[in-house]
């Protein structure tokens, strides 16, 4: 299963395919996100896009989450961060020093979920994994 890369230009099309209108504000938000990709906060987007209302930014972020275009992850203290989903199924590394978000896929994870599935009663419907690191840059510095 090769990682599926999502090209930024397709992002609006994905929203359109889901039956949403392509509006000015949505275009603005998506355009801003295309220039990001690293971890960012929703409130930060509001600051960088003052022409779009806060509610609309949060609404658009929610749509992109539901569409799988964005991922929401949590720092160790629980603070939320968003990141562009570059692959269809992946997990994140978050540097606890500088906040940089990376991602990885690991087949061991699939095996882990199968192993857990065999151990517990009930049916696995999803999971969340965050790996907290000190990134190479922060180690060097």
Partner DNA sequence: CAATTAATGATACAAAGTATCACTAGATGG
Partner DNA sequence: CCATCTAGTGATACTTTGTATCATTAATTG
Sign of CA dihedral 27, 80, 117, 3: positive
- Least separation in angstroms between residue 43's CB and a copy of itself is 15
Contact indicator for 81, 121 with CB cutoff of 8 Å: no
Considering the rule CB under 8 A, would residue 51 count as an interface residue with a copy of itself? Answer: no
- Least separation in angstroms between residue 54's CB and a copy of itself is 18
Long-range contacts of 85-90 (CB under 8 A, 24+ apart): 85/6, 86/3, 86/5, 86/6, 86/37, 87/3, 87/4, 87/5, 87/6, 88/3, 88/4, 88/6, 90/3
Considering the rule CB under 8 A, would residue 124 count as an interface residue with a copy of itself? Answer: yes
Which residues bind to DNA, rule: CB under 7 A? 20-26, 41-43, 51-56, 58-60, 62, 72, 78-80
Nearer to a copy of itself, 21 or 128 (CB): 128
The DSSP element (H or E) to which 103 belongs, if any, is strand 101-104
Considering the rule CB under 8 A, would residue 139 count as an interface residue with a copy of itself? Answer: yes
- Least separation in angstroms between residue 2's CB and DNA is 31
Pick one of DNA, a copy of itself, none as the site partner of residue 88 (Cβ within 5 to 8 A by kind): none
> Which residue matches tokens 């359109």?
16
Residues that bind a copy of itself (CB under 8 A): 72, 74, 76, 78, 80, 93, 95-96, 102, 104, 106, 108-109, 111-113, 115-116, 119-136, 138-139
């Amino acid at each position: 299963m090769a990682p599926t890369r999502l090209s930024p230009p397709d992002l609006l099309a994905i929203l359109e395919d889901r039956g949403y209108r392509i509006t000015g504000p949505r275009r603005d938000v998506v355009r801003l996100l295309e220039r990001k990709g690293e971890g960012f906060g929703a409130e930060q987007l509001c600051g960088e896009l003052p022409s779009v209302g806060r509610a609309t930014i949060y609404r658009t972020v929610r749509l992109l989450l539901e569409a799988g275009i964005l991922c929401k992850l949590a720092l160790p203290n629980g603070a939320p961060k968003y990141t562009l989903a570059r692959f269809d199924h992946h997990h994140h590394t978050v540097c606890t020093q500088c906040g940089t978000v990376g991602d990885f896929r690991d087949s061991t994870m699939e095996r882990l979920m199968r192993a857990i599935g065999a151990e517990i009663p009930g049916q696995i419907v999803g999971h969340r994994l965050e790996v907290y690191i000190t990134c190479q840059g922060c180690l060097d510095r």
